[in-house]
Structure 1
Amino acid sequence: MTHGIPTRWRSVLPHLSQPLPPDRTPPRTADAPGEIKINIPTELIRHSVSAREYWDIPAPVADRYRQYRPTPLWRARGFEEAVGARVPVYVKNEGVNISGSHKLNTALAQAHYYRQAGVEELVTGTGAGQWGTAMAAACALFGLRCRVFMVESSLRRKPYRGVLMRMLGAEVHSSPSGMTKVSAKEDLAAGNSLSLAIGEAVEYAADHDRVAFCIGSGETYSILHQSVIGLEAEEQLADLGAEIGAVVGCVGAGSNFGGIALPFHATARAAGREGPRLVAAESSSTPKLTRGVYAYDKTDATGSGPMEAMYTIGSDYRIPDAHTAGLRFHGAAKLISAMRHSGDIDAMAVSQADALAAGRLLARHESVLPAPESGHALAAAARIAASPDATGGVLVCVSGHGYLDLGAYEHFLDGGLEDQSPPDEALARAVAGLTRVETRP
């Protein structure tokens, strides 16, 4: 660490209770005739599979980190009082860069490594738009073209996300776009999803030279890059003399939660002691960690990438529309899923109404407006901190700001929010054909 800014990323892979299950080749079907080749720089592959614990942050990436890191951490006394907390609550705010979220931490790293590999354009899919914005910013800084497929319902609700990406030089397409084979097959009346937007990006990149697909949440290397969050937090909490009993982050696929929580797990394991409780807060409309199954599933709508072991509600399940688009992904990252399966991670489902209520409390009592996704983590942190069983402080990551999500807060204030938790029978149908991962001993 130098002046509070990490100089190395820290991997949790050496400290897992059991190895990650290997990926599987997808079955060949009429809709998914075979695996599409996704070109990933060698260094990113090493970040995902090596047992090495520490990785030096490249100088060009570290230079960009210095523009907005370290990010603020403080004891949220006003929020504590508002929620009836019995223990201190500490907030780590990742919404202080141009993307407005933690996503820039890995976007900068990926742009650096892809440029080194000779790629000229990066293509990605985004839900709420934070990842697309982060990728557009990183491409601008590293001299790459950028193309983003954004979930149509999110882009319609948050058009200024699209404007910001275009300001940064990106081409932005509403998904389903009609530009790709996978979108042409989509039933437009059935809604749209992050899985489809990612599938469009995968297909587009595969069809063009010197163009690569990149992703910012579920991959093990992106979670590694996010470790700067937890590494900073450990040092900041030590300066405050704070002891932490629980670490909370929201989960779409898992990069924000992994970034804040997994360094604490690695530190505890390395010291041979019990670490804080790690709590993944997810949307009750997409409850993969609390109501899903641990099985092999596809990661995008093309079904052409490797099948990964994940907690999932089924990649074909039609996730209800919601204001928390960044959490509307059917599965959790394979690293997060494996740790959930081994009992190293807890999970809690939160409704969007409760999430936005928690976000409003943070705004009123701490003068920070969180993204709706981050509201899920705040609501979970409030429950934990107010519990009679609470011991030690609660650390919660605000993964992004909510200034481009005021439409969601307006809907909440007007009393129009409706949560749609999946019926048990619908979830059972969605996962019926999946191959379950072997139960742990």
Structure 2
Amino acid sequence: MIGKLINFYSIDGDYMYKVLLDEKELPKKWYNITPDLPKQLSPPKGDRVKDLPKIFSKHVLKQETSTKRWIKIPKKIREIYREIGRPTPLFRARNLEKMLNTPAKIYYKREDLSPTGSHKLNTAIAQAYYAKKDGAEYLTTETGAGQWGSALSLACSLMDIGCKVFMVRVSYHQKPLRKILMQIYGAEVFPSPSKETEFGRKMLKKDPKHPGSLGIAISEAIEVALKNDNVYYSLGSVLNHVLLHQTIIGLELKKQLEKIDEKPDIIVGCAGGGSNFSGAIFPFVKEKLNERLDCKFIAVEPTACPTLTQGEYRYDYGDTAGMTPLIKMYTLGHDFVPPPVHAGGLRYHGMAPQLSLLVKEKIVEARAVKQKDIFKSGILFSKAEGIVPAPETCHAIKVAIDEAKKCKKSGEEKTIVINFSGHGLLDLKGYEKYLSTEE
């Protein structure tokens, strides 16, 4: 490989800026971290466990509880992965390195290049595929900033099934373009809390101007699934099968780093429920546990919703109404309602059980950052690399910049990898508010 021979330079001496994989190199299996976790994962419990077969399609429910290390990716899903642009490229942020005057090497994995602009399609396609296989007429779901709702809307369209999305009310009004995108793909979109469900009406009766939360939106989506035959609920983060599907990111990333003879010293990603970050790091975690890799994994969340940094590690409901089983995870409490900040997503009260366990065991480090700082970092990245990151992705960029500045002080040439989870071209209203108020 050219990268191995000449350390990321081409033969004529020019810089190489990206590492590509051939379509034939697309992974054929997802990686399930459950059997490799340092401790056994605590199972869901409570009366609601019995409702799981009604809520989820049988295929994803089987994946949720699987202890197999590798799970085959169906041919149809691999074909669609290729259609939406997988494998995705790994870029070197050379201009950002120059602006920071750091000896660190900064790479970013481009999950923003999917049709809906984020990593979310990796699991949306899989979940819609299995729902169709199991006879679903449509899927219900929630969405915060709209990335997940957009992805599932497209996935359902590709699989020719319907989609109903309950969008957190504050985001519904702050991000109308995401709503329009979902509607273009054929989805019905409701501001949550909504008048469409019993629980939504209950919340609106208490507060007609309720800003909403992911916990409330989840409750509404699950209620619809429970009350209708041939309808399943679909979640965009948190659960084991969702993180499983996202490991396509880390598996590709491993191949790309091997091509240029690099080992990551730091992998950083934003964390709201944990799917994009976990998808990037899980294929590397086993190597760290076996002491074959010395890498720091940093999950970054907002100070407005500090689940990992200030939450408790305990059993809690995944939704506000208590319709889900009790799940052991880091949580701020299922009745937590985050402030309506304009940074968008990363507002969930809980965190993926698998990721929570890794944080508890100190294999993953968690950090919380302020909204003002993440937008400042996102603008710096945009000026350097030309790509406008999603506000969620800016959280990861902020910490990557912090780590690169530390390298400037120490003189260390560390390799820092950012999982670039999504672009911000439909989030410009948030940037506008920051630029006009700098808050």
TM-score, length-scaled by structure 1: 0.89
The reply to whether residue 118 of structure 1 matches residue 151 of structure 2 is no
- Report the counterpart of residue 34 of structure 2 in structure 1: 13
Residue segments in structure 2 that go unaligned for 5+ positions in a row: 1-20
Q: CA deviation at 1:354?
A: 1.2
The CA distance in 2 between the partners of 1:39 and 1:203, in whole Å, is 9
Structure 1 or 2: more helix by fraction: 2
Q: Residue 208 of structure 1 aligns to which amino acid in structure 2? A: N
The CA distance in 2 between the partners of 1:395 and 1:362, in whole Å, is 14
The reply to whether residue 133 of structure 1 matches residue 133 of structure 2 is no
Match of 1:46 among 30, 52, 62: 62
What per-residue deviation string (whole Å, max 9, x for no partner) do you get for residues 288-345 of structure 1?
1111111111111221210111111112122111123320001111111111111111
- Report the counterpart of residue 374 of structure 2 in structure 1: 355
What per-residue deviation string (whole Å, max 9, x for no partner) do you get for residues 32-74 of structure 1?
xx96864323332232222211111101100000021111211
Q: Residue 334 of structure 1 aligns to which amino acid in structure 2? A: P
- Alpha-carbon spacing, 1:84–1:185, altered in 2? closer, same or farther (3 Å): farther
Contact 1:128–1:326, Cα closer than 8 Å, also in 2:
yes
Percent identical residues: 38
The reply to whether residue 331 of structure 1 matches residue 350 of structure 2 is yes
Q: CA deviation at 1:353?
A: 1.3
Q: CA deviation at 1:383?
A: 1.1
The reply to whether residue 194 of structure 1 matches residue 194 of structure 2 is no
The CA distance in 2 between the partners of 1:36 and 1:228, in whole Å, is 26
Contact 1:6–1:231, Cα closer than 8 Å, also in 2:
yes
Q: Residue 394 of structure 1 aligns to which amino acid in structure 2? A: I
The CA distance in 2 between the partners of 1:84 and 1:23, in whole Å, is 48
- Report the counterpart of residue 417 of structure 2 in structure 1: 395
- Alpha-carbon spacing, 1:35–1:86, altered in 2? closer, same or farther (3 Å): same
The reply to whether residue 157 of structure 1 matches residue 174 of structure 2 is yes
The reply to whether residue 171 of structure 1 matches residue 192 of structure 2 is no
Match of 1:180 among 197, 218, 242: 197
Contact 2:150–2:178, Cα closer than 8 Å, also in 1:
yes
Q: CA deviation at 1:267?
A: 3.9
Q: Residue 367 of structure 1 aligns to which amino acid in structure 2? A: G
Contact 1:38–1:202, Cα closer than 8 Å, also in 2:
no
Contact 2:300–2:367, Cα closer than 8 Å, also in 1:
yes
- Report the counterpart of residue 372 of structure 1 in structure 2: 391
Q: CA deviation at 1:199?
A: 1.0
- Report the counterpart of residue 304 of structure 2 in structure 1: 285
Which range moves more in the overlay, 380-389 or 34-43?
34-43
Match of 2:435 among 413, 429, 436: 413
SS at match of 2:434: helix
The reply to whether residue 304 of structure 1 matches residue 320 of structure 2 is no
The CA distance in 1 between the partners of 2:182 and 2:68, in whole Å, is 35
The CA distance in 1 between the partners of 2:437 and 2:25, in whole Å, is 42
Q: Residue 122 of structure 1 aligns to which amino acid in structure 2? A: L
The reply to whether residue 251 of structure 1 matches residue 265 of structure 2 is no
TM-score, length-scaled by structure 2: 0.90
SS at match of 1:236: helix
Q: CA deviation at 1:94?
A: 0.5
- Report the counterpart of residue 80 of structure 1 in structure 2: 97
The CA distance in 1 between the partners of 2:320 and 2:232, in whole Å, is 17
The CA distance in 2 between the partners of 1:224 and 1:58, in whole Å, is 14
- Alpha-carbon spacing, 1:110–1:275, altered in 2? closer, same or farther (3 Å): farther
The CA distance in 1 between the partners of 2:51 and 2:98, in whole Å, is 53
The CA distance in 1 between the partners of 2:54 and 2:287, in whole Å, is 33
The CA distance in 2 between the partners of 1:304 and 1:163, in whole Å, is 29
Q: CA deviation at 1:194?
A: 1.1
The CA distance in 1 between the partners of 2:401 and 2:60, in whole Å, is 36
Residue segments in structure 1 that go unaligned for 5+ positions in a row: 28-33, 418-441
SS at match of 2:172: helix
SS at match of 1:327: coil
- Alpha-carbon spacing, 1:4–1:35, altered in 2? closer, same or farther (3 Å): closer
Q: Residue 173 of structure 1 aligns to which amino acid in structure 2? A: F
Cα RMSD of the aligned pairs, angstroms, is 1.9
Match of 1:203 among 223, 239, 247: 223
The CA distance in 2 between the partners of 1:303 and 1:207, in whole Å, is 16
Match of 1:93 among 100, 110, 134: 110
The reply to whether residue 61 of structure 1 matches residue 77 of structure 2 is yes
- Report the counterpart of residue 420 of structure 1 in structure 2: none
Q: Residue 129 of structure 2 aligns to which amino acid in structure 1? A: H
What per-residue deviation string (whole Å, max 9, x for no partner) do you get for residues 80-129 of structure 1?
23334341111111011121110000000001111111111001000000
Q: CA deviation at 1:17?
A: 0.6
Q: Residue 12 of structure 1 aligns to which amino acid in structure 2? A: I
SS at match of 1:174: strand
The CA distance in 2 between the partners of 1:224 and 1:403, in whole Å, is 28
SS at match of 2:382: helix
Match of 2:44 among 23, 45, 63: 23
- Alpha-carbon spacing, 1:214–1:53, altered in 2? closer, same or farther (3 Å): same
Q: Residue 3 of structure 1 aligns to which amino acid in structure 2? A: K
The CA distance in 2 between the partners of 1:303 and 1:71, in whole Å, is 38
- Report the counterpart of residue 435 of structure 1 in structure 2: none
The CA distance in 1 between the partners of 2:47 and 2:102, in whole Å, is 47
- Alpha-carbon spacing, 1:41–1:368, altered in 2? closer, same or farther (3 Å): same
Q: Residue 436 of structure 2 aligns to which amino acid in structure 1? A: D
The CA distance in 1 between the partners of 2:218 and 2:102, in whole Å, is 39
The CA distance in 1 between the partners of 2:287 and 2:24, in whole Å, is 20
SS at match of 1:192: coil
Q: Residue 238 of structure 1 aligns to which amino acid in structure 2? A: E
Q: Residue 252 of structure 2 aligns to which amino acid in structure 1? A: E
